[in-house]
Amino acid sequence: MRVLVTGGAGFIGSHLSERLLSDGHEVICLDNFFTGRKENIVHLLSNPMFELLRHDVTQPLLAEVDLIYNLACPASPVHYQHNPVKTIKTSVAGALNMLGLAKRVGARILQASTSEVYGNPLVHPQTEEYWGNANPIGPRSCYDEGKRCAESLMFAYHNQNSVDIKVVRIFNTYGPRMLEHDGRVVSNFIVQALKGEDITVYGDGSQTRSFCYVDDLVDGLVAMMESVDFTGPVNLGNPNEFTVMELAEAVIRLTGSSSKVIYKDLPQDDPLQRQPDISLAYEKLKWTPTIELDEGLCKTIKYFSARPGLGSMAGV
């Protein structure tokens, strides 16, 4: 099939593009390179089944495609808070444009939503039936509410125009090709450890996260796109819960770093608990992650240690 991946030069999008090519599909990678990087997909440019298109999803697109993975949107607080108006436009106008394309050509479309739609959850772990506890005017709202609106648009187009939709809610994902300074906890800790700097923990470190390795996530995205008679939304993430302090200790151990942990104030609206219930994903998709945290961290550390200025730590 001919597959459009918006945000295809980003962290997750580049891994997904690789997978789709290996499955024999033709891939159109669309990216405006705000957070995507050409180096993530440069090794794919010689593949005749791969096409790179510099384009912003907030602008309409004419293309003939069979499947659309709509991943375009900055996903880390540093980047989505940099220009909150643009973030909202990317989620909302981007979804409208991609839904318009899907309707016009009869394509199936998968929307990459987020666990952030649950806000700072009052239900734990989070199931798809939970409506969330999100602040509609807080510093994270440009991302949270943009993604919530994108989900609403997906179902409106599905119910009104019979567009074939899939909605996935992605929980914390990590792995090679993350940006060094994107504010996400895994990349922050690894970069600080490799540099021998203090590791910055916000709050007391007791807040929890669930970390899914990118290869597992890509498996889930593909399984969802290939599913029959199931729109979602569905949680995709690793159900194993760790405190932020446990993550910091694991990174220090695996890098052999001498870094010390320091504490700073918890940012506003930062969720205290985040753990997916993936029962629905297992039931409908037969999907469950297989890569444990230590294994995934080792692969991610190896990637970062090869980056300029980060590979001097002994034993890495």
* Reduced DSSP (H G I as helix, E B as strand, rest coil) percent helix, strand, coil of the chain, to 5: 40, 20, 40
Q: Fill in the DSSP letter of residue 22.
A: H
**Residues pairing with 119 in the sheet:** 133
| First and final C-alpha spacing in the chain | 40
Q: Which of 69, 118, 143, 157 is catalytic?
A: 143
Peptide bond into 125 cis (omega under 30): yes
Alpha-carbon Rg for the chain in angstroms: 19
Verify whether residue 143 is a known catalytic residue: yes
- Cβ burial 281-301 (10 Å sphere, 16+ → b, else e): beebbebebebebeebbeebb
How far apart (Å, rounded) are the C-alpha atoms in residues 151 and 216?
Answer: 23
φ and ψ of 261, to 5 deg: -90, 130
Inter-CA distances, 205 with 30, 106, 200, 272, Å: 37, 47, 10, 10
Position 22: which residue type? S
CA atoms within 13 A on the CB side of 232: 31
Residues recognised as catalytic: 143
